Amino acid sequence: MDILLIILGVIALLLGLVGCIVPMLPGPPISYVALLMLQLTDRAPFTTTQLLFWLLLVSLVQLVDYFLPMLGTKYSGGGRWGSRGCLVGTLIGLFFMPWGLLVGPFLGAYIGTLIEGRNQQEAIKSGFGSLLGFLLGTVLKCFVCGYFAWQFAVALL
């Protein structure tokens, strides 16, 4: 049974890493499940405090990742329409993977900011803010999933 849980854990870690890039898969929560699977084996390497801290970390990363592109839009000059456009662009970008993930938030924020009546320079700045927020969220998720993979590997060795 332990071998099955370890194999499923490795699969969950790989899916978690894929989920860092593909927004439809929640990367850090899937990687966290891998740690829980390892905890159910005879090894049981993690303390309850570690698991609860990592659960809090996963929750915070997921929350921050959801808002980062919109915050990037807002703080780079976009308004409410720019933030909404960023969200819509991200969703539409899912259908045009992989480039849609990068171009979608940018174009959404750009078009939304133009709809607000702002000039093209402000719209471009808003678009780059959303792109930066998206990329920062992706890096943050990759870091957390990589850390979980490292913890998993250390616990097995």
Instruction: Report pLDDT digits (tens) over 28-64.
Output: 999 999 999 999 988 778 999 999 999 999 999 998 8
CB environment 10-39: b (16+ within 10 A), e (fewer):
bebbebbbebbeebeebbbbbbbbbbebbb
Judged by phi (left if over 0) then psi (alpha if -120 to 50, else beta), residue 118 lies in beta
∠ CA 129-134-137, nearest 5°, is 125
> Do residues 90 and 138 touch, judged by C-beta distance below 8 A?
no
For the stretch 90-134, pLDDT in tens is 888 878 877 887 788 888 888 888 888 888 888 888 888 888 888
> What was the pLDDT predicted at 16?
94
Residue with tokens 């097995």: 156
Q: What's phi and psi for 22, nearest 5 deg?
A: -90, 110
Q: What are phi and psi of 47, to 5 degrees?
A: -85, 165
Q: How confident is the model at residue 22 (pLDDT cuts 50, 70, 90)?
A: confident
